Structure 1
């Protein structure tokens, strides 16, 4: 696809839902603010060895003063580097590194045994791990079946396995918790040049309303981070305005507080202003905004 003729802010405004939008961290989502403190909380971050896991979520929760950070990814050496960076931010945080393939059910169960042994339980889950094997673009007719399916193994099955274990490790059925699943705008609208990635991320996105509907104690939100300078961003997309890791990480901290519970079951974008979202709280709670739905006229009344 040729994006070269589109304005640099095209993706910032394409799905604009709030009057104000942001590409960088702003005061309301600054994790160092006193009212953003998460003292005593334990956070699990998957895909923590690189990308947003390493540059956005781990630093933000460290700045918010959490009690513990559980770092999950397959690359143990890279996880140790992230752990060192966390210690530079806040040496009082206890970290737990668990090299894990989240698409392996036994490995995920073992990881949560370690979480329980170290912390008792975790309060916040960031389902950040994901892969994009479509690269710069691949048509369905040309896709390799094993490469295609591996995206579903990680982005879909893996996110499900971690989410299930997280819910089951909570100390009580009404214990407050937060689950944030990373999604993409391509999951909302589809992308014919990256069908495996966009559809598999829709699985992770649609787990959110499934959780929210039956677990009122959990704030479950799907988060589209925007365009960021990671190794998953195709070269063809790099001329567009990009969001910073600090914006995405700060928003995740903001979502981990009770004030964000009205967004449970919804999908949001990191660029949207949180004060503007709060101003539309009743509208969001009372309708189908920020959900995936089928568009059309339905019911026998349309034929009378």
Structure 2
């Protein structure tokens, strides 16, 4: 129960889904957790449930990142863990390369890409002053396996994976003792995933069960993962157990990438 004891952690998009599972797992292992989210009501509920703090944040706003880091500096004096989890998937319909709107493309990249860039940019200095730390950027299996739909999402997550490697190399070569890794979830049961199944069923004129079975058929292990499985990977990367690991891509997908 003390794998990250005494560490201070920020988890963006921590009100629900993967973010909340990650925040709860870090808290269970001794971290002081600051949850950020655009959803104030659910964010406060999530923070209250785990005994953490909540701050409303649009991750695509540089001013809000500056404010958050200064608040953490003032209240805790250090930052050990940053989990850049906040993200959006965008619509399923009209999401292929030919049909995706410019507005959707920019909106998805702004949250998923710019948000991660800003988080790393503004966390590094405080982490360096704290003696080092761990940055975990949430990418996706969509960064590694091409799809003819949700193309903006896949592109944004591929950018996260490559940017993670750049941050890892920069931090290692500068001697900051900051590690940076990306996590690539596959089909994980969350509200976002449920919405994807619902939208796909509606688009295809198929039943929800048929769509779910079709999705599962593409996973060698044959079933959807649970948020805690992603949280456990993040916990490992956040802990000192992973002190010699940086710039890695950690796939948690039931073997989905193997099948393409």
Contact 1:121/1:171 (<8 A) preserved: no
Matched, 1:218 2:160: no
Instruction: Determine whether 1:58 maps to 2:9.
Output: no
2:144 matches 1:188: yes
CA displacement at 1:199 relative to structure 2: 0.2
Greater fraction helix: 2
CA deviations 1:17-38 (Å, max 9, x no partner) are xxxxxxxxxxxxxxx4xxx521
Contact preservation (8 Å) 2:143, 2:157? yes
1:100 has 2:57 as partner? yes
In structure 2, what is the Cα distance between the partners aligned to 1:41 and 1:83?
A: 17
Provide the C-alpha distance between the structure 1 equivalents of 2:239 and 2:27, rounded to a whole number of angstroms. 15
SS in 1 for 2:87: coil
Write out per-residue CA displacement over residues 216-257 of structure 1, whole angstroms, 9 at most, x where no aligned residue: 212211101221111222215633211112211122111122
TM-score (norm 1): 0.71
TM-score by length of 2: 0.82
Runs of 4+ displaced beyond 6 Å: none
Do structure 1's residue 267 and structure 2's residue 249 form an aligned pair?
A: yes
Change (3 A) 1:162 1:182: same
| Larger RCO, structures 1/2 (Cα 8 Å, 6+ apart) | 1
Partner of residue 165, structure 1: 122
In the alignment, does 2:89 pair up with 1:115? Answer: no
Equivalent-residue separation in structure 1 for 2:212 and 2:18 (angstroms): 17
8 Å CA contact 2:14, 2:43 repeated in 1: yes
Residue of 203, 206, 214 corresponding to 2:162: 206
State the shift of 1:271 in Å.
5.3
Cα-to-partner distance string for 1:257-288 (whole Å, 9 max, x where unaligned): 2332443111011258xxxxxxxxxxxxxxxx
| Offset at residue 150 of structure 1 (A) | 0.3
Number of positions where the alignment pairs a residue of Structure 1 with one of Structure 2:
229
Provide the secondary structure at the position in 2 that maps to 1:220.
strand
- Aligned mate of 2:14, from 48, 69, 87: 48
Cα distance between partner residues in 2 of 1:252 and 1:118: 24
Which ranges in structure 2 are unaligned for 5 or more consecutive residues? 201-210, 217-222, 255-260
Tell me how far apart the structure 1 counterparts of residues 153 and 13 of structure 2 sit (CA, whole Å): 16
Q: Secondary structure at the match of 1:142?
A: coil
Partner of 1:224, secondary structure, is strand
Unmatched segments (≥5 aa) in structure 1: 1-31, 88-94, 273-304
1:251 is the counterpart of 2:225: no
CA RMSD between the two structures: 2.0
Q: Alpha-carbon deviations, 1:151-176, whole Å to 9, x = none?
A: 1101011110011111022253x822
Alpha-carbon separation, structure 1, partners of 2:40 and 2:112: 20
Partner of 2:212: 238
Q: Between 136-145 and 125-134, report the one with greater CA deviation.
A: 136-145
In structure 2, distance between residues paired with 1:136 and 1:260: 40
Which protein shows a greater Rg?
1
For the 8 Å contact 1:178–1:218, the answer to whether it is kept is yes
